[in-house]
Amino acid sequence: MTEADRKALKEKLNDLSRQIDDRVRDLKERGVFSESRRQLVADIRRRQEQINKKLASAEAKGRAWAVIRAEIERDFGSLYDDLLQINERLDADEMKGR
């Protein structure tokens, strides 16, 4: 894994963290941070931490970048999809409320 690859992946993970933090803050400010959303965010954060651990382990053990990259990008895509799901649920709830 090159330093540029590692840096780019870490930046993607950091960006995801910022997006999650922004969404949670928005939901709390609007008073719509329900228990189901709280649980979904907790799951996303738990899985994100697993990705961080996987990346750190790969770096320490010198695993083949192609393998770890495919695994992490798959996991990252799933996390991002879950974040989009939060947004879609919020939009659906808002439409019901109108």
Structure tokens at 6: 């590692």
The model's confidence at residue 1, banded by pLDDT at 50, 70 and 90, is: low
Segments making up each domain of the chain, as ranges? 3-97
For residues 61-75, give the mean pLDDT.
74
Structure tokens at 61: 């053990």
pLDDT at 20: 87
For residues 64-73, give the mean pLDDT.
73
pLDDT tens for each residue of 14-51: 888 898 899 899 889 989 888 888 888 898 889 888 88
